[in-house]
């Protein structure tokens, strides 16, 4: 018996198809495809008709190109390994005017997507003038130059509904896109929308060629008022009851008084999963499911946890931490941590990994 990380391939595939609908999607596969496994995820996306991918690491971009040489692979973080980009035909962000001035001679033949800075302020060009400066300089001499293929931005507030920042950044960005269009500039690819923006809008923004979607493709809702069945979770995380112990009122359990029994004859199940497997401390404030019943986690240790149970639970029973009922996104909305945070914490070196076909 070992704790197991399990993905149902059919649910995964059906979810992709539902999210994609008839829109063009660039699948975000950063951080080992949100821990779903880069190769698995890329093959599933290809099967669903997705032909564009993006990630933050050059190594991952190369891996994707090796799986599917004809797909567009877009590197969202700039690198100076220009030879590798040329060798594999990887597209890259052009992150700032400074980067352009510094490396314009070395960027020849590389497909770049000009990045517009937004309220996230993580990267990007500051203004329309900065962007036009590069576009104009570029049009003077086409020899030995980079290829300007795309225009993109990343919204910092699309997941927020309580404030107006998303409307502001969306408005600024659409102004940039429209001004460039009106002045005759054309781009093969324009993309900005993450999962939240894609679902909020219900379609691609004007003049966009792709939405750049991550978490929804992996089965978690980006915000809470999106209906539950718009997105399906294929991931099950489960462990096992290895013992059931009885403790009495006032007895401390776990390290450093982690839990103190409130009543006599409290039954505690010892479960073979812990923070070393990637269970977040914040997740351990909530419940698990054993034999279809819900029980509270009482203490979290490195490779174990205590769950308070009753007479219906015995050693050998399966303990569900995440499944289609105990969804990652629901815990996100309860404040456990971002969807991607819960997913990427899971330790695939210690958990048994299974893809059900
Ligand atoms: C992670 C990421 C995305 C995808 O965001 P989701 O909310 O997972 O859809 C899109 N663009 C950039 C730049 C990212 O870093």
The 10s digit of each residue's pLDDT in 240-269 is 999 999 999 999 888 877 889 999 999 999
Residue 39, sorted as left (phi over 0), alpha (psi -120 to 50) or beta, turns out to be alpha
pLDDT of residue 141: 57
Per residue in 281-323, pLDDT (tens digit) is: 999 999 999 999 999 999 999 999 999 999 999 999 999 999 9
Q: Which two tokens stand for residue 23?
A: 């829109």
What's residue 258's pLDDT? 83
225: which residues sit within 8 A by CB, 6+ positions away? Answer: 161
First vs last C-alpha separation in the chain: 21
Active site residue 255: yes
- Residue 212 CA: nearest ligand 1 atom is 10
Where does ligand 1 bind, in terms of residues with CB under 6 Å? 28, 30, 76, 154, 194-196, 212-215, 222
Residue 190, pLDDT above cutoff 90: yes
How many angstroms from the chain centroid is the CA of residue 30?
Answer: 7
Query: Residue 278 half-sphere exposure, CB side, CA atoms within 13 Å?
Result: 23
Strands (E), 169-326: 189-191, 211-213, 235-247, 252-253, 259-260, 266-271, 287-290, 293-300, 305-309, 318-322
Q: DSSP letters along 80-127, please?
A: S-HHHHHHHT-EEEE--HHHHHHHTTTTTT-EEEEEEP-TT-SSSB-S
Please identify which of the residues 108, 126, 249, 255 carries the catalytic annotation.
255
| Strands 91-94 vs 259-260: parallel, antiparallel or unpaired | unpaired
Q: Which residues contact 197 (CB under 8 A, 6 or more apart)?
A: 155, 158, 166, 170, 205, 211
Q: Which residue CA neighbors atom 12 of ligand 1 most closely?
A: 154
The alpha carbon of 28 and the centre of ligand 1 are apart by a number of angstroms equal to 6
pLDDT in tens, 75-96: 999 999 999 999 999 999 999 9
pTM listed for this prediction? 0.96
Separation of alpha carbons 222 and 241, rounded Å: 32
pLDDT tens for each residue of 171-180: 999 999 999 9
Can you tell me the mean pLDDT for 41-70?
Answer: 98
- Measured in residues, the chain has a length of 357
pLDDT band at 140 (very low <50, low <70, confident <90, very high): low
Q: How far apart are the CA of 56 and the centre of ligand 1, in A?
A: 10
Q: How many angstroms separate the alpha carbon of residue 191 from the centre of ligand 1?
A: 11
Query: In this structure, are residues 40 and 88 in contact, taking their beta carbons and an 8 Å threshold?
Result: no
Q: What is the pLDDT of residue 305?
A: 96
Percent of the chain with pLDDT over 70: 99
Q: How confident is the model at residue 210 (pLDDT cuts 50, 70, 90)?
A: very high
> Of 139 and 355, which is predicted with more confidence?
355
For residue 209, with 0-12 CB atoms within 10 Å meaning exposed, 13-18 middle and 19 or more buried, which class applies? middle
pLDDT band at 1 (very low <50, low <70, confident <90, very high): confident
pLDDT band at 122 (very low <50, low <70, confident <90, very high): confident
Report whether 312 contacts 291 (CB < 8 A).
yes
Residue pair 236/222 in contact by the 8 Å Cβ criterion: no
> Which position among 30, 63, 65, 238 bears the catalytic label?
30
Asked whether the predicted pLDDT for residue 43 surpasses 70, the reply is yes
Q: What is the pLDDT, as a whole number, of residue 79?
A: 98
- Which pLDDT belongs to residue 255? 81
Ligand 1: which of 194, 223, 328 to mutate, most ligand atoms within 8 Å of CB?
Answer: 194
Annotation says 322 is catalytic? no
Mean pLDDT (the chain, rounded): 96
| Assigned token pair, 277 | 């497997």
Measure 195 CA to ligand 1 centroid, in angstroms.
7
DSSP annotation of 210 reads B
| Angstrom distance (rounded) from CA 210 to CA 277 | 36
| pLDDT interval class at 143 (50, 70, 90) | low
Q: Alpha-carbon distance 54 to 29, whole Å?
A: 6
Atom of ligand 1 nearest to the CA of 194: 9
Atom of ligand 1 nearest to the CA of 158: 7
Q: Which of 333, 332, 349, 352 is nearest to 341 (CA)?
A: 332
User: From the CA of 54, how far away is ligand 1's center (Å)?
Assistant: 9
pLDDT of residue 254: 81
160 vs 294, higher pLDDT: 294
Q: Which atom of ligand 1 is nearest to the CA of 159?
A: 7
């Amino acid at each position: 018996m070992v704790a197991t990380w399990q993905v149902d391939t059919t649910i995964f595939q059906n979810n992709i198809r539902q999210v994609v609908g008839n829109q063009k999607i660039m699948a975000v596969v950063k951080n080992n495809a949100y821990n779903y496994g880069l190769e698995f995820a890329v093959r599933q996306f290809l099967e669903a008709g997705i032909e564009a991918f993006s990630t933050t690491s050059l190594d991952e971009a190369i891996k994707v190109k090796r799986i599917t040489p004809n797909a567009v692979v877009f590197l969202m973080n700039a690198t100076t390994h220009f030879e590798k980009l040329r060798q594999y035909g990887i597209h890259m962000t052009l992150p700032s005017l400074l980067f352009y001035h510094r490396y314009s001679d070395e960027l020849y033949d590389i497909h770049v997507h000009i990045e517009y800075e937004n309220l996230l302020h993580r990267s990007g060009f500051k203004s329309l003038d900065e962007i036009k400066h590069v576009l104009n300089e570029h049009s003077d001499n086409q020899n030995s130059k980079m290829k300007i293929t795309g225009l993109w931005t990343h919204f910092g507030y699309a997941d927020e509904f309580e404030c107006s920042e998303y409307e502001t950044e969306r408005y600024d960005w659409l102004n940039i896109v429209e001004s460039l269009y009106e002045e005759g500039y054309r781009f093969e690819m324009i993309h900005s929308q993450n999962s939240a923006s894609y679902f909020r809008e219900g379609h691609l923004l004007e003049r966009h060629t792709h939405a750049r979607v991550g978490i929804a493709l992996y089965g978690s809702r980006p915000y809470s008022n999106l209906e539950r069945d718009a997105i399906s979770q294929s991931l099950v995380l489960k462990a096992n009851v290895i013992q059931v112990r009885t403790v009495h009122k006032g007895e401390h359990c776990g390290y450093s008084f982690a839990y103190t029994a409130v009543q006599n004859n409290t039954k505690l199940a010892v479960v073979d999963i812990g923070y070393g497997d990637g269970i977040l401390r914040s997740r351990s404030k909530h419940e698990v499911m054993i034999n279809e019943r819900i029980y509270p986690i009482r203490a979290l240790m490195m490779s174990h946890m205590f769950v308070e149970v009753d007479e219906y639970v015995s050693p050998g029973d399966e303990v569900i931490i995440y499944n289609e009922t105990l969804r990652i996104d629901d815990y996100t909305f309860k404040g456990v941590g971002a969807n991607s945070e819960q997913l990427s914490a899971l330790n695939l070196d210690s958990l048994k990994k299974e893809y059900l076909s």
